[in-house]
Amino acid sequence: MATLGSPSQTAAIINKYNFNFKKKFGQNFLIDKSMLEKIVDAALVGEDDCVLEIGPGIGTMTQYLAERARKVIAVEIDETLIPVLNDTLSSYDNVTIINADILKTDIQELCDKYNNGKPVKVVANLPYYITTPIIMGLLEKRVPVSNITVMVQKEVADRMQEGPGSKDYGALSLAVQYYSKPEVVAVVPPECFMPRPNVSSSVIRLDLYEECPVKVKDDKYMFRLIRASFNQRRKTLSNGLSNDSSLNLTRDKVVAALVKMGKPETVRGETFTLEEFAVLSDLLLEQKNFEY
Ligand code: SAM
């Protein structure tokens, strides 16, 4: 049975270890049992699963995960939390604690070592300051992951689900929707954390596609175009893409591709769907290949 998940239990551990919360690591620990159950339910963790937990903190959610999964790998950057985790997780023999920065961790190696290279499930109450690099890294590196269930700032979860026409639509929305089907599974008020954050949070589950439904010849190139389009949000696509020297595209080339797509040359990237970026990417790549 989990021994953590209430304000008094968390406070007892904090006091026992004289632990100081570190803002730089985005430390807001969950203190609500029903929310913890809800997150673990939403992550669809079963008895055969290997779960990668990013940032276990004092091990609260880790306990709930360890009770359901075959194996939990918990990667925590803060070395002062390692003795705490060794204590709070001592009765679970299916948990491996790793003291490391997740951004510098070889996730493929962890999957090979603990799950015979098969896809793991990622669960995390993410530190807000590195939400985007963690999620983009998991998606773009194509490590074996079947779903990612993460607590993020509510606005970030909204952004992941947005489509054209919204001010929050951008490179993150397109990457998330290219690689996965996103679904917000819970909205979490500040009272569920110690200390309380200033913002509301959402839990979002990303179910990764085995095969991306949107077809494109070179997705790395498409995402270079997408980033360039949203870096220069106010500009038209033809100006934005031709101004980005790394793409080596002339305005005429971009306009020619847009004309082929039946789009006006004044069109902006923020109006383009994922499918339209894929078509544009293939057309520009075709022209590029033709030149050489
Ligand atoms: N999972 C715990 C919970 O829900 O109570 C703690 C969540 S807290 C928001 C985020 C945790 O991630 C902290 O324990 C923090 O030290 C850890 N963390 C921050 N940056 C990290 C990184 N780059 N790699 C691994 N862990 C990190």
CA of 16 to the centre of ligand 1 (A): 20
Q: Burial level of 262, CB count in 10 A (0-12/13-18/19+)?
A: exposed
Q: Is 156 in the pocket of ligand 1 (CB under 6 A)?
A: no
Say if residue 125's pLDDT is above 50. yes
CA distances from 187 to 39, 163, 191, 204, 207 (A): 10, 20, 12, 9, 18
Q: Is 170 in the pocket of ligand 1 (CB under 6 A)?
A: no
Q: Indicate which atom in ligand 1 lies nearest the CA of residue 27.
A: 8
Say if residue 81's pLDDT is above 50. yes
Say if residue 170's pLDDT is above 90. yes
The answer to whether 43 and 123 have CB atoms below 8 angstroms apart is: yes
pLDDT of residue 43: 97
Reported as a pLDDT band with limits 50, 70 and 90, residue 235 is confident
Q: Is 238 in the pocket of ligand 1 (CB under 6 A)?
A: no
The whole-number average pLDDT for the span 150-158 is 95
| Distance, CA of 143 to CA of 108 (rounded, Å) | 6
| Distance, CA of 33 to CA of 83 (rounded, Å) | 23
Q: Burial level of 109, CB count in 10 A (0-12/13-18/19+)?
A: exposed
Contacts of 226 (CB under 8 A, 6+ apart): 171, 174, 175, 269, 277
Measured in degrees and rounded to the nearest 5, phi and psi for residue 197 equal -75, 165
Average per-residue pLDDT for the chain: 94
| Distance, CA of 284 to CA of 265 (rounded, Å) | 15
Reported as a pLDDT band with limits 50, 70 and 90, residue 2 is confident
- In the chain, the domains with their CATH numbers are 7-208 (3.40.50.150), 219-291 (1.10.8.100)
Q: Which segment of 49-58, 112-121, 281-290 scores lowest on mean pLDDT?
A: 281-290
Dihedral of alpha carbons 120, 125, 127, 132, sign: positive
Q: Identify the residue whose C-alpha is closest to ligand 1 atom 21.
A: 77
Residue with tokens 């996730």: 107
Q: From the centroid of its chain, how far is CA 18?
A: 32
pLDDT of residue 231: 87
For residue 77, the one-letter residue type is I
Q: Is 75 in the pocket of ligand 1 (CB under 6 A)?
A: yes
Tokens of 183: 């679904």
The answer to whether 137 and 103 have CB atoms below 8 angstroms apart is: yes
Full-model pTM: 0.93
The whole-number average pLDDT for the span 116-126 is 96
Q: Is 130 in the pocket of ligand 1 (CB under 6 A)?
A: yes
Q: Indicate which atom in ligand 1 lies nearest the CA of residue 30.
A: 5
